[in-house]
Structure 1
């Protein structure tokens, strides 16, 4: 290849001869043309690029370049350069699912439609780009489509009327915690019926409050209730201040943190529906102690703590709100003394009285024969609507006799014969010797990813979570466990209902989403676009915000078959569908080609799916290290040889060239020497000739260059400068096309 190179070899001389009578000037300037001008004139001597293509009438070979649809539609110098030098354009990189997405979630195919219309009636071949890829996808939107349906947990709410006095006889007296009186009278306002008059003008209630005997409805306990509401009417200002409002439960006094005035009461006016919280220390309210939460019957008193109170009460109501938690309990209280429970591995467990007087408990093992890794068994039937998946933990009380079983291999839970190891023994849970450890042993049910060694948790296997009835065993994994146990509680929690989409539902959703893009873009390309990359970058392992794995939902092989079918079913013309993948000079190109070829074979194994060819996005690098460059050329030859053996159409696209120094660093185009540019041009000619030599002529589908113009700050060498002046790469491409 000739790369024109001139040097200036002369200097300018000027002679002036002055003649008598006449001024005469002779000028003789002899210079060689500057190198830049000479090179430009040399490159200008070449014809248009596509004129150098050797092909017969039946050849599918097309020489093209990347150009965005918007730049093509401008019809400026880039457009005219395409028309003059190339057979067509690649616009695929400019129209992708991400940049075509509209706010409403649909796609804008207008850009494809416009460029497809623009090439009608011209000789320009239009390459449409990629129809299916894991990269460049609107992943966040797709993930939203398969989010589970979440039905929020709605707690059961209701109220229990303690007293409204309407069924009481006028004059009925209620007990007081101290002196004075509480008598049923008519509402002094004459509006709401009967009410309870506490204290009198002459006998004020001095730190004395009316008492009510409460029996909660079946199934309710005090811990279910979240607040107490009352109607209160202070007579004049009797007790409106004082020490504040009080609530008493079984004689235990609770200060709600407000007096009647700040509670909302005004003299001789009803304060209706005033609320006292039972689970908040924020006034007006208090925290109900745990030991009272199980009460179903109790004595309630409420009123103003004052040395001279007088007021009316009405509509005393307790409001419950089930928190969505509860327990399924085994406590032995209904068992006969001497009742024996079976063990997983022999020994005895017998119901006895707690030696400390708490009621009935289960005595496991004996002093003579402690339990040897054997645990008492219980038949569990969960409440209606509950499965084991609703449960979050198991707890029990344990009294170790003489410390037997305190260590060992940890607490064990056995469900239908499946032993689950908490890896934390009674000692780890804080159980002492010869004393009860109440609520100390609490074994959480966690996900596999949450469990750590020795954390006192277990993982319930998936196949057990649907159980509603099962055999449960629990105990210390010790060779000599001797203990009392009591209050074995399975704790449940009613979370939000989560309805996951099935794999089949997800497959249907994404099959339709794939078709929205493939069907839409192929239809927009119409008869102007006959060539598509049906699958792009299948070997790319990039994971970023725009990565979406179609194979995960449609099948690792099936997704490609689905894409092919959708494209061919949509098109009104016969399409050529290519599988497309980037090959960088740094890749092991032969190995990568093998992987790509094997992948296509797997897709076509159904004898229905057809991939017409391979589109190789080739990013070449000329290395100034001679050994590395020789290896580069060998890899190019091997790549084309492997592709040729497939018998399919072969296309090279996005063909680019860079130069690296001997240390492997890329050289900026503005810093390249003439020799380096010449070497790069020679290498691109080599690549193109290897392609034309190795690939059968009827399988040469074409070559497309990555960019027509280069930038001074970039590394990519192109056939034109940014001002569309030819440079040395132009000659390299000419040589490659010949």
Structure 2
């Protein structure tokens, strides 16, 4: 590319500009394609654009790049002598000006205002309110719910040796719950050092147990006790049998089967065989909170004379809530307590015949089996839960007789349901416990024989009469651990913000935007868009109004007016592409403006961001020009001043493909200029005094849109079209 001296046309463009105090580089690069001398000569007769715009009463402006404008080179020179207003559509929006930290940077807006002031032109202000061009992701993140990720919590388990008596001196005694003694002696079998001898020849321990002080690990309490484990050596006449083993803590006794039920043999060490499970349900919360407590263990016999060794404490801190609520395990009942039945027969509390799980409910006897009769209990669900909170019921069952019959019967407050028989759930005649084997689902209907659909009334129950058993004429079985399983979520915990919290957060963000924008514009910008792109509201990714109210536009307008140093002129702005539908869009925009005004918003004028197409095909272009003229004529329907913003013309060829302006010939440029003239004339004719401004999209042509000045700075016939539109 070569450089030439300033042409006559450009000299006209720069007229009046050289009076500025500062010096600017006005050496203009020429286009690679030779500029048409005839066109240059023809255009040399025209004055600067402001002369024609002023006489026509239609201010002319142009869109600029703030950075290019601030460089005070060619674009600045052209603007300063030919236009009266500048704007930068789409650049000064919340989405464009905010950074990752949520801070708005208005420096480019401040620069544009400052440079415009030096050039002697005004600035058409950006939009105050809109649902478009917002930092939606940032704003949504501010009001997003707090999500606490679900993390599975495994149970924390541990154990420690309470005593193995090795550190005790021989002859040391431990206190007893009753009479007799317990003394540290050598293992009579000579195997494990020191052991504790409970009772003595001639001084047996009659229902009296040795007592120990237990201190749980730091942070652990009685509530975390899982099991007490110890070794025992007891003769048949000195503690192997009796009433069973006992664990007593802070005076509360728990009963278990005798030593043989744990696998011990007569007068032999049962190493690690005695495992007494703790029953927290029997204790008050004040006891469960204790870190140190008194504990007694041993055999409940009237002739105790046995040995204990290696006492261990096992503890557990619960992990995730499994949702299993064991609402009835009978451990709080006395042996022999009777429960009512639906049709007669025995239902009473006994010790587990296997000696493992404490007290259980026996239904029927070998001599008098129950016949189609079921034990009735009262269920009280814990912690305010309702039956509808649960997905399943399960119960342990051990059958001596009656695992078949007519199936399992479940009765809730008198409503009966018959399910699959106990045998199908693992219960066998005279067999072991089917732990949790009898099940009834309230949610899974895949197996109708094990599904009961609760009524709405039943779902609301917190306490109810309940009966379960085998519908047989020869029932003799045991039941234990009536357990209801709640629906337990493993999903993340989501804490939603309240509408009030969201309004406060978003209101603060909106105030931050408005305060920053008005501080940047100050009293130097009096034309502002009060609401931008209303047609985009329904599809907007975020809308201020959804959180701070539909009246927020009127409120912010009142706030600005209160603090403004001079009168403001407020516009509603909408982007339209000129087509045969533009008059209908204008009518719709009029309705939108009226709706805003009904909400208390003052709308002084309308700003239309318009773009159009010029076709190289003559017939097509005739239609396009008719559409453009019709669009201008429709503007009068607003009944308000109308400003055309960022008016852009894209040229297409006969195949509807875009044409680079640098390839357009002279005659075609004149035709495009005539198109501009017709649009401007129609705009003036339709609006008269309400034609308050016409802004072009480009100072200089680029690869997409035409402009009155070519890239090198020379005017072309589009300039002539502007003049004709203003003067004819």
TM range, smaller chain? 0.5 to 0.7
Are the aligned partners of 1:148 and 1:499 in contact in 2 as well (CA < 8 Å)? yes
Give the superposition deviation at 1:616: 0.7
Selected match of 2:60 from 57, 60, 63: 63
Give the superposition deviation at 1:639: 3.6
Q: Which residue of 2 aligns with 1:551?
A: 545
Q: Which residue of 1 aligns with 2:194?
A: 183
Cα gap change, 1:315/1:604 in structure 2, threshold over 3 Å: closer, same or farther?
A: farther
Q: Which residue of 2 aligns with 1:534?
A: 530
Are the aligned partners of 1:214 and 1:299 in contact in 2 as well (CA < 8 Å)? no
Cα gap change, 1:664/1:573 in structure 2, threshold over 3 Å: closer, same or farther?
A: same
Selected match of 1:725 from 701, 714, 717: 714
Q: Which residue of 1 aligns with 2:84?
A: 87
Are the aligned partners of 1:668 and 1:715 in contact in 2 as well (CA < 8 Å)? yes
Are the aligned partners of 2:440 and 2:452 in contact in 1 as well (CA < 8 Å)? no
Q: Which residue of 2 aligns with 1:510?
A: 506
Cα gap change, 1:47/1:316 in structure 2, threshold over 3 Å: closer, same or farther?
A: same
**1:287-333: CA deviations, max 9, x gaps?**
xxxxx999999999xxxxxxxxxxx9999664525434433345686
Does 1:701 find its partner at 2:695? no
Give the superposition deviation at 1:655: 0.4
Are the aligned partners of 2:635 and 2:686 in contact in 1 as well (CA < 8 Å)? no
Give the superposition deviation at 1:550: 1.8
Give the superposition deviation at 1:709: 1.4
Does 1:585 find its partner at 2:574? no
Equivalent residue runs for 1:313-712 within 5 Å: 318=315, 320-329=317-326, 337-338=339-340, 381-383=381-383, 394-397=391-394, 438=437, 487-492=483-488, 498-540=494-536, 547-555=541-549, 557-585=550-578, 588-606=581-599, 608-624=600-616, 629-697=621-689, 699-711=690-702
Cα gap change, 1:166/1:623 in structure 2, threshold over 3 Å: closer, same or farther?
A: same
Listed as ranges, the gaps of 5+ residues in structure 2 are: 1-33, 171-182, 197-212, 230-260, 264-276, 283-294, 298-308, 364-371, 398-402, 429-433, 468-478
Give the superposition deviation at 1:469: 7.0
Query: 2-side partners of 1:611 and 1:506: how far apart?
Result: 29
Are the aligned partners of 2:617 and 2:654 in contact in 1 as well (CA < 8 Å)? yes
**1:97-137: CA deviations, max 9, x gaps?**
34433565322223333333344476311112222333333
Query: 1-side partners of 2:546 and 2:109: how far apart?
Result: 29
User: Which structure shows the higher helix fraction?
Assistant: 2
Selected match of 1:137 from 134, 139, 142: 134
Query: 1-side partners of 2:486 and 2:191: how far apart?
Result: 48
Cα gap change, 1:661/1:495 in structure 2, threshold over 3 Å: closer, same or farther?
A: closer
**1:481-514: CA deviations, max 9, x gaps?**
xxx9963322446987654221122122222211
Give the superposition deviation at 1:165: 3.8
Query: 2-side partners of 1:681 and 1:103: how far apart?
Result: 45
Q: TM-score, normalised by structure 2?
A: 0.59
Query: 2-side partners of 1:589 and 1:159: how far apart?
Result: 75
Query: 2-side partners of 1:42 and 1:174: how far apart?
Result: 128
Cα gap change, 1:54/1:122 in structure 2, threshold over 3 Å: closer, same or farther?
A: closer
Query: 2-side partners of 1:70 and 1:521: how far apart?
Result: 19
Are the aligned partners of 1:519 and 1:570 in contact in 2 as well (CA < 8 Å)? no
Does 1:148 find its partner at 2:140? no
**1:650-699: CA deviations, max 9, x gaps?**
111010001233443333324444454343332222222211111131x2
- SS of residue paired to 1:539: helix
Q: Which has the larger radius of gyration?
A: 2
Cα gap change, 1:495/1:487 in structure 2, threshold over 3 Å: closer, same or farther?
A: same
Listed as ranges, the gaps of 5+ residues in structure 1 are: 1-33, 186-211, 229-249, 253-291, 301-311, 341-347, 363-368, 370-375, 407-412, 415-424, 446-451, 476-483
- SS of residue paired to 1:664: coil
